[in-house]
Structure 1
Amino acid sequence: MLWVRVLTMLRIPWRSSPLTAMPMFPPAHLSAAARTENKTEQLNCASAFYRRKRSMIILSTVGDDTMPRRAVVIFFVFCLLMGVICLRLISVSTGLDTAAGAVKNTRSIELSDLGAPIYDCKGRLITNGYTEYFAAARPTAAALSELRTMLGGDELELVREKLSKGRPVAVAVPSGANSSEDVKIIGVGRRYSPRQPAAHIVGYTDSDGNGVCGIEKAFESIFKNNRQTVSAVFPVDAYGRVISGAEITARTDGKYGKSGVYLTLDLEIQQIVEDCMDECGVDIGAVVVLDPKTGAVRACASRPVFDSNNPAKSLSDSNSPFINRALCAFAVGSVFKPAVAAAALEQGISPSIKYDCTGVTEIGGVEFGCYEHKAHGVIDMCGALERSCNAYFIHLAQKLDREKMISTLSNLGFGKPIDLCEGMSSASGYLPNASELDSKAAVANLAFGQGSLTASPLTVCAYMSCIANGGAYCMPYLVEKATDGSRTVFEHENRAGEYVISGDTALLLSKYLRSAVENGNGRGAKPQNTTAAGKTATAQTGKFERGEELYNTWFSGWFPAEKPRYVITVFKERGSGGASDCAPVFKAAADKITALEGE
C-alpha cells in the first residue's frame, strides 16, 4: 500500500505499538467499574504514546532529514521522466498522423529508379551520369497548351487523353524547357546515356531491374539493394483531385551513398577509342587498351553496339551487336609473329639469321606465300617484322623445339581464357599442342598466325603488354572494388607481373616493333605527337562472301615506344588490311590520349 511505503521511507513504525498491542475494548467479564478503569488506562497509554512518538519525529527531523529529501527528489525525477515520455508519444503520434496525411493528400509519379552507380578508375560516373528532363503537369488547359510546344504526334495525344480525365502526367521533354505554375520541369538521373560508353562491359538490365549481362549481372545484388527513386509529387484534395496553385515538387526516396562498382576503365580514354573506331570506320570490331605495368583495362569497346536503353531494338541486327568482340576469339595472323620471334630468341636462335624471301616457299609439299606474293629479298628478324614476311617465320619455326615453342606461346597467354569478373571472360581461343604440329606444314601455318590458331583482342593486347613491360606478364583485370553500403564486397589484389620471357628478348623485340612502325608496314600507326611500336596483321578466315575471302585485320602496339604507358589492340572483322583498317585507329587514339594527358 502507498501509505505503508511512505511511512517506511519516513522511518515511522506501523506494525506494532502500544495501541495495536492492547485491545481497544475491555473484556466483557469485567465489572462496570473495572471496565471504566481499563478504558481510562488505555486512553492514558495512547496519550503517552503519541507524545513520545511526536518527540521522536521532531528529533528525527532535526537530526536527519536525508530520507525525506531523497523521497522528494525521486518523486520529482519520476514525474519529469513521465512528462518527457508523454511528450515524446504525442510527438510521434503527431508525426505519424502528419506523414499519413501527407501521403494521403498527395499523388506521385515515379520518374526514375536507379541502382548504385558504376564508376571509372577516377571515380567518374559511367552510369547514372546522364540527366533526363520531365515535365510534370497538372490537368489544366494551360498545362496542355504548354506541353504542345514540347511534344508532338502520338505522345502529345496520350498526354492530352490523361489530362482530360483529370489525371496529372509526367513526360520526358527536351532540355531547356521552362517551369510554370502548371508545369514543373524536373531533371533526374538516367541509368544509361543515349550513347552509353563501354556498353558491352556495363551490360544491361531487364524490365524488372535484373542484370542480363556484363557488370550489371555480375554485381546485380549491389545494384538491387541500393536504389534511389525520384518522383513528381502533386498535392490533392480529399477527393484525390490535384489542387490548383499548389506547388508540384520532386521527392527523392532511398539512397545508394558510397555503394557501387569501381572499374579500371578510364572514361575519357574509353570515349576516345570509341570515337576513333567510329571515325575510322571500324563498324564491326573491337579495341582494347591496357596499362602494361598493371594489367588494368583502361578501355574496352566493341562494334556494333546495342541500345542500352532499348536492347530489344537491336535484336534484329544481323551483325550481332550483343557480342563483345573484344572477348571473342578470331584468326590472328601476323600480329602473332612477335610471339614466334620471342620463342626463337628464348631458344637461343640468333636474330641476325638471314633468309632470302622470293615471295613464295614450299614446305612439306604445301606452297605458302607472302602477302600478294611479294618478294622481300634477304632479310633478318628485324626486317621480317618490319615487312611482315611470312616465309622468314615459316623457316624460323622449323628450327624450333616444338614443345618449348608451345610452352612459350602458352606462357604469353595463348589458348587460355582471361577472367575479368563473374560471368565475363575472354574466349580461350585455340593454341595447338605440340602433338598436333605433326608436320612441317602445320608448323608453317602456326608460324605466321594461321591454321587452327585463334585468340581474342584482349589476349593479343595482354601478350603485347608483356613485351612492352620487359617480359613480365600482368593478368588483365577490370574491377578495382565493389561496395555494398559501408561494406567492401570485392577489392582487387595487386600482384607483380610474372616474367615469361627474358628482359633481353623483350627489349630486342621492342626495338624491332618500333622499327616496324617507323620504317615498315606499320607506318600508318605512327602518331604525330609521340613514338610507338607495334605490328599489323591481315588474317585469312577461310570464309568467302560474293566470291571474295573475308579477312580479320589487326594492329597491336604501344606508346610511347621507349616508355610504354598504354598498349592498344585494334581489331576489325571483314576488313581489307591491318595497315589500312586498324593502324589509323591506333594513331588517332594515341595522339588524342597524349594530348589529353599533356605529354
Structure 2
Amino acid sequence: MDKELKRMIRVFTAMCILFVVLIVYLSCFQVFTAPKIKNNSYNKRLWIDEENILRGMILDRNGKILAYSEKTEDSSIRHYNYGSLYGYIIGYSYREYGKAGLEATYNNELLNLKESATLNEIKKIIEPNGEGNSLKLTLDHGLQEMANGLLKGKKGAIVLMNPQTGEVYAMASQPTFNSSTLKEDWKRLVENPDSPFINRATSGLYAPGSTFKVVTSVASLETPNVETNYDCSGSIKIDGYKLKDYGGKAHGKLDLEEALVKSCNSYFAQMGIQVGKNKLGEVSEKFMLNNQIPFDLPVKKSSFPYKEGMGKTDLAASSIGQGKVLVTPLNMALVASAISNGGDMVKPILVKEIISPDGKVIKTNYTETISTVTNSLVANELKDMMVEVVKRGTGTNARIKNIKVAGKTGTAENASGKTHAWFIGFAPADNPKYAISVILEEDGTTGGKSAAPIARKLMIEALNRIK
C-alpha cells in the first residue's frame, strides 16, 4: 500500500509540474510573444481585416493626401500619391511583402482596430465595411519635396524640425524606393548595395565628426577647473598616437569659442581627456546616445561605448566625433534642438493627430521633454559660440541674410576612405523655430562646403513657408 501511495504521489506531482509549466508557457506567450505575432506584418489574419475595412488616409500637416485606399470588388487598392517621396516614412502595405514605415507602426489605427480581439470581431459583425482612421503628419509637403530634391544624386539624410514643439517638418533619405511600384522594383531594390530600404535619417549610424564637438563643449562648460586656453600647433600626440588638425593647420592660441569656430581637433582631443570619459559619457547620454529615442518610426540607438575600457586614444578620437562614436541624423537634429531650446530636448513628433472617419480628432501627440541635457546658462553660451561658427567660422555657407543662424560643421572619416559631410544648426538663433541635421554620406567633401549650403536653402524655404 505504501508503494502504491508513493507511486500516486509521484504521478500527481509530475502532473502538477506539467500543469505549472503549461501555465507559465501560456502566460509568457500571452505577455511577450503574442503581441509580436499579432502585429507582425506577415500575419495573414491582419489581411482579413484589410478586406473588411477601408484603410485610413495619411495626410501632411496642411491636409494634402499622401496615401489613401480605394475599395474594389474583392478587396481594396492602396494608393501612394507621391511614390518615392515618402517611401521610407509612409512605407508600404502589400500582401506579398508585408508592411513597413507608418503603415506598420500605425496599422491598428489605420484599420480602426481596438486592442481587444473580441471588440474587433463584434465590430466586423456590426460594421463589415467600416473605415479606418487617418493620420495627420507634422511634415510639410513642400519642404519634404525640397529636402529630397537637395539630396538628389547623393546618399544621405536631412532632418528639419521645430526645436520647441518637436514637430518634424521634413525628413529626407536617399536613395529611397517608390511605394507605388514596389512589386515591379522589389528584386532590384533588395539587390541594391546602397540599401534603399534603410531610412538613413533614423537608422543610419555614422561617425558625427566635428558636429560632436557640441557635446564635448557642453562637458567642458560643465566641468570646473578645466584649462580652456590652448596653443594649437596643428597636431597633438596622445599615448604615442599623432592626431592631426584638418590639413595639418596650426590654429595658434585658442579658447573654447575660437576652437569651436575653427573646429580645432587638437583642442577638443585634449579637452576630452581633461573632462574624462565618464563626464563625456554622462553628457552624451543626456543627448540620448546609448538611449532609445521615442519616435513614430523605428530608430537605431546612437552609441558612445565609454564604459567598455576606453583608453586615452579612443577618448581623444571620440571627443572629435571619430573613433567609436556613432549617431543617427535624427539624434544630431535633436542635439541642435536641445542647445537652441535652452538645454531641453523634446520628443520628435511625426504623427500629429489621429482622425476618425467622421473627422474627429481622437488622439493628439503633444510636446514632451525627453531630456534636460544641460542648464540654460551653458546652452545659451554654446548657442552664442555656434552663431560665431556660422558668422565667421567653418559654417559661413549656412549664413542667411538678416537672420542669425547657429551651427556646427563636421567632416567625418570612415572606413570607405571618403568623408561624410555634416552640418547641424538652428535659426533664427534668438528665437529658434527650425533645427536641422544634414549628412552627405561618403561625399568626400567637408561639411562646410557641401552640407551647410543645403541646410541654408532648406531653412530659408522653411522661414518662408511655416510661420
TM-score of Structure 1 vs Structure 2, range by shorter chain: 0.7 to 0.9
Aligned pairs for 1:45-124 (under 5 A) are 115-124=55-64
Number of the residue aligned with 2:389: 516
Counterparts of 1:336-351 in structure 2 under 5 Å? 336-348=212-224
CA displacement at 1:266 relative to structure 2: 2.3
CA distance in 2: counterparts of 1:477 and 1:449, whole angstroms: 27
Report the counterpart of residue 584 of structure 1 in structure 2. 453
Cα contact 1:331–1:541 (8 A) shared by 2: yes
> For 1:385, what is the secondary structure of its paired residue?
helix
Deviating beyond 6 angstroms after TM superposition, the runs of 4 or more aligned structure 1 residues are none
Question: Structure 1 counterpart of 2:140, which letter?
Answer: D
Quick one: which amino acid aligns to residue 198 of structure 1? Y
Residue type of the alignment partner of 1:333: G
User: What residue in structure 2 maps to residue 89 of structure 1?
Assistant: none
Conserved 8 A contact 2:161-2:436: yes
Q: Deviations over 1:32-83 (max 9, x none)?
A: xxxxxxxxxxxxxxxxxxxxxxxxxxxxxxxxxxxxxxxxxxxxxxxxxxxx
Could you report, residue by residue, the CA deviation over 1:196-239 in whole angstroms, capped at 9, with x for unpaired residues?
4332110012147x85200111122344469xxxxxxxxxxxxx
Where in structure 2 are the equivalents of 1:48-447 lying within 5 Å?
115-128=55-68, 191-207=79-95, 212-224=99-111, 256=131, 259-278=133-152, 281=153, 283-312=154-183, 313=185, 314-327=189-202, 328-348=204-224, 353-421=228-296, 424-434=297-307, 436-437=309-310, 439-447=311-319
Task: State the TM-score, normalized to the length of structure 2.
Answer: 0.77
In the TM superposition, residue 498 of structure 1 has moved relative to its aligned partner by 4.2
Consecutive unaligned residues of structure 1, counting only runs of 5 or more, are: 1-112, 132-188, 227-252, 544-548
Name the residue aligned to 1:556. 424
Q: In 2 relative to 1, CA 310–349 (structure 1 residues): closer, same or farther, beyond 3 Å?
A: farther
Structure 2: distance between partners of 1:503 and 1:225: 43
Where 1:273 maps in the other structure, the secondary structure is: helix
**Shift in Å, 1:333:** 0.9
Per-residue deviation at 1:401? Answer: 3.9
Tell me by how many angstroms 1:332 deviates.
Answer: 1.1
Displacement of 1:484 after TM fit? Answer: 4.9
- Unaligned runs of 5+ residues in structure 2 are 1-52, 71-76, 114-127
Residue pair 2:54, 2:129 contacting (<8 A) in 1 also = no
Distance in 1 (CA, whole Å) between partners of 2:102 and 2:402 is: 35
Q: Counterpart amino acid of 2:337?
A: S
Matched, 1:462 2:402: no
Cα distance change on mapping 1:315 and 1:440 into 2, 3 Å: closer
The 1:588/1:403 distance shift into structure 2, 3 A limit, reads same
User: What TM-score do you get using the length of structure 1 for normalisation?
Assistant: 0.61
What is the aligned partner in structure 2 of residue 45 from structure 1? none
Equivalent in 422, 430, 436 of residue 568 of structure 1: 436
* 1:515 partner amino acid: E
Give distance in 2, aligned partners of 1:459 and 1:225: 32
Higher relative contact order (CA 8 A, sep 6+): 2
| Residues in 2 aligned to 1:523 and 1:458: alpha-carbon distance in whole angstroms | 23
Q: Distance between the aligned counterparts of 1:527 and 1:254, measured in 2?
A: 53
Is the alpha carbon distance of 1:271 and 1:373 closer, same or farther for their aligned partners in structure 2, counting shifts above 3 Å?
Answer: same
Equivalent pair of 2:167/2:348 in contact (CA under 8 Å): yes
Q: Shift of the alpha carbon at 1:503?
A: 0.7
Distance 1:219 1:498, change over 3 A: closer
How far does residue 254 in structure 1 lie from its aligned partner after superposition?
6.3
Percent sequence identity over matched residues? 29
Distance 1:416 1:498 in 2: 11
Q: CA deviation at 1:463?
A: 1.3
Number of residue pairs matched by the alignment: 389
User: Larger Cα Rg: Structure 1 or Structure 2?
Assistant: 1
Distance 1:442 1:295, change over 3 A: same
Distance 1:320 1:434, change over 3 A: closer
Q: How does 1:476-487 map to 2 (within 5 A)?
A: 476-485=348-357
* 3-state SS in 2 of match to 1:342: helix
Q: Is the 8 A contact 1:415 1:455 kept in 2?
A: no
Matches of 2:303 and 2:449, distance apart in 1: 27
**1:402 Cα deviation after fit:** 3.0
Distance 1:498 1:451, change over 3 A: closer
- Which letter does structure 1 place at the counterpart of 2:409? T
- Matched residue of 1:454: which SS? coil
Equivalent residue letter for 2:224: G
User: The residue matched to 2:220 in structure 1 has which SS?
Assistant: helix
Deviation of residue 265 (structure 1)?
Answer: 1.8
Q: What secondary structure does 2:236 align onto?
A: strand
TM superposition shift of 1:496: 4.2
Structure 1 residue identity aligned to 2:284: L
Give the Å deviation of 1:400.
1.0
Cα–Cα, structure 1 residues 194 and 410, in superposed 2: closer, same or farther, change >3 Å?
closer
Q: SS state of the match for residue 391, structure 1? A: helix
Alpha-carbon offset, residue 563 of structure 1: 1.2
Q: Once the two structures are superposed, what CA deviation does each residue of 1:239-282 show, in whole Å capped at 9, x if it has no partner?
A: xxxxxxxxxxxxxx96748x21122222232222222223xx5x
